[in-house]
Each structure stands twice: as C-alpha cells, then as structure tokens.
Homo-oligomer: A and B are copies of this chain.
C-alpha cells in the first residue's frame, strides 16, 4: 500500500538546490522517508498559519496540528528560550514545572482521570497505554477501527493498519468498521457497538482476553467522522463488560481543536479509562502523555515503575504549559468553534458548486471534504482528490488526504486560523475543483 500524496522521486523537475537535497536524503536517510506532494516543499521559516519557502513565498498551512497554536508562537518560543538556558533535567529530581503543567492539564479533563504520565511522542504514549492496559486487565486483545493509525513502535504498529500491508497486524488485534454516517445505512451507534461486541466474541473464540478498545474519537485516519456525536457509549460499555479498558487517542482531536470541547471524547459523553496525548501538546517540542484513572495504573506503577529520560523534562513542560496558556488567553477553543463553523459553511458552498464533492463535515478546525466519482454511488475518486491537493499546494495552500479510499481532504489548520484564512482556503479549493 503506497502512501497517499507522496512525492515520487524523478517524477517532476525540481530546482537544482532541491534536487540536491532529495539526493542527499536518499543517500543518508535511506528508503524509509517520504516527502509530501507531487512537488515537495522546502520551508525555511514559519509564523502563525504561514510557512515560507526558500524563495520567500508564503503558504497557508491548513494541515498542522503540531504547530497547533501557530508556527513559532512567541509565548511558546519565549518559554523554551528561557528554560533551555536555565535547566533541562529529568523527573528523578524535584521540579515545579512538571507539576504546574500536570495540574493545569488535568484541570481540563474529567476528575476521574487523576494521573498523568509523560512520554515524548504519541507513539510512546499509546505504547505505554498498551502496557498499562495489559498489566491491569491481564489481557492482550486490542480492538481498533478498520483504518486506524495509533503509532509506530513495534507494539503500536501492530494495531495501526494505515501503515500498510507490509506492517502486519498482531494476531491479538481485531478491527471494527468505523462509524461513517455518509457510508452507513441505519444507526451508526448500533452498528459500531455490534462491531465491537463481535470483535470481543472473536477474541474470546481465539482464547484471547480483551485488554482495550482504542479509538481516535474523531476517527481521523478513517476519514474524519465528526458526526454524529454521543454514539460511543454502547461500545464503551461492551469493552467494560468484557473486562477491557476504553482508551481515547486524543493526538488528533485534543487540545481544543473541535471547538466545543477541549477533548474529542467529550463530544461523545463518555469518560475513558485512559487518554493519550501527542502532537499539539508542546507546539512542536517532543512531549506526549497518558492521562489515567488512578486505579488503572496503581499496580503497574508500583511494580513496574516508569522512567523516560527526556519525558517531562523542564523545557518540554515549559513549552506545554505555554501552549495551554495560549489556548486560554487567546480563546483558541472559541476561535476553533467560530472559524471552524465559518469554514464549514464555506465548504458547504463549495459542495453546492461542485458535483465531485460528496460530503463535507467538520468539528471546529478539523474538516473533511469527500471527493467522489458520482454522488449516487459515492465511489471514492482518489485520483481527483490527489489532483485537488496538489493544485491547492501549487496555489499556496497546504492540506492532505485521508480515509480508506484516499479520497477525503484532510483539513486541520493551526487553531489561530482566521475567517480571512478560511476565505482564502475556500477560494483556492473552489479553483482546484473547477480546474478538474
């Protein structure tokens, strides 16, 4: 399975400088690295929603939940600059910053989620959640959605089907079709719950005790399934009845992106046993975490201990604390809600003008535009989707693709996106579709 929207070396003419960089990448980084877009990009500076290439051309970044409060946000930059010159040590010494951050973070979550443990990447967070779930439940079975992505450690790659057929799923992993309202007849909540119950039964039939159901509550790689909300309860009840845990992977929806709530799972009215955090947490500084019901980690914590050298270091905590402060001070959740709704209106206008748009949906500043061969069959048009993404890139707007049919525009701008940025976005998307 090839990666969608990847640069194919040799397929287009690049500047001499970029050609040299591509050759150096192949030589020193080897064959595992991919660049995005038919014509790759070479950025040298970022600010807010803008990335600047070597020629000084500005690109509107509508595909970044790492620089979630904007590229090089001055408050985050200042926090890192101050702390990196003061102290950058680990969790085996006392340090106030990790606690200031942990308390501020936990205050944004349901009270039942009382502990947070830090790691450096979303993959490490999910890997740690897996270890904790196995220790707590005594089981190993993992239930995911069909086209989930949760990370790249050996254990997590075994339940990340989007990595492609060369990365085998574990024999203890079961997939359930994600609740895509656009492609489902009938009640998606009932269908999803039935799928989870069938997966549990199949695990049992193979002698495997379930450890956890883990989902991205926006089902990002399954196609950004923002609606309906409040349908996860039946599936969560099912995994609990089977003695397993429910884990919400908030690497994509978390930190205010969905506008109405700080966390994606809150849109579903459920409280997970664990919540995993990643990309937007430090606005680029490598920090991630697992938030946990205390009883779930009690035995693991006492017996197995946990020390991740770089995790929770003072610099990463300073960055993460600054991110929460910016989200508060600048009202970025409200901005995500308001600009997100405005953008969604704009996208609905695009849908009205272009037959190729089968569906648009969104929650805050996370939106999906589904490109289809025709509206009746809803057949994915992967090829047109790729052309749209690359035309938009040529016109200076960055997005990418997701979904099992690679036909869904993945629109995920920094939370400081403005209505003016949304107007630009809609305009460029309109032109990319008109040029079909």
Say whether, besides A81-B81, A90-B66, A120-B120, A154 and B153 are in contact (CB < 8 Å): yes
Inter-chain contacts of A306 with B (CB < 8 A): 32-33, 152
List 10 contacting pairs A-B, 8 Å CB cutoff, sorted by A: A25-B99, A30-B297, A34-B307, A36-B93, A42-B94, A46-B87, A81-B81, A123-B124, A123-B308, A286-B286
Report if A31 contacts B (CB, 8 A): yes
Query: Closest B-chain residue to A74, C-beta based?
Result: B85
Report if A201 contacts B (CB, 8 A): no
Shortest 6 CB-CB contacts between residues of A and residues of B:
A31-B301, A32-B301, A30-B115, A166-B303, A154-B155, A42-B94
Instruction: Please determine whether A30 and B294 come into contact, CB atoms closer than 8 angstroms.
Output: yes
Instruction: Please determine whether A40 and B303 come into contact, CB atoms closer than 8 angstroms.
Output: no
A28-B102, A41-B93 known; 9 new pairs, CB 8 Å cut-off, are: A21-B94, A21-B96, A30-B115, A30-B301, A31-B302, A33-B301, A43-B94, A44-B86, A166-B304
Measured in the bound complex, the distance between the Cα atoms of B303 and A25 in whole Å is: 17
Instruction: Please determine whether A154 and B152 come into contact, CB atoms closer than 8 angstroms.
Output: no
Instruction: Please determine whether B31 and A309 come into contact, CB atoms closer than 8 angstroms.
Output: no
Say whether, besides A18-B94, A124-B124, A305-B34, A28 and B99 are in contact (CB < 8 Å): yes
Say whether, besides A94-B21, A304-B167, A315-B284, A89 and B67 are in contact (CB < 8 Å): yes
Report if A292 contacts B (CB, 8 A): yes
Query: Closest B-chain residue to A115, C-beta based?
Result: B30
Which residues of chain A in 164-209 are interfacial with respect to chain B, using CB atoms and an 8 Å cutoff? 164, 166-167
Query: Closest B-chain residue to A298, C-beta based?
Result: B31
Instruction: Please determine whether A163 and B35 come into contact, CB atoms closer than 8 angstroms.
Output: no
Inter-chain contacts of A30 with B (CB < 8 A): 114-117, 292, 294, 297-298, 301
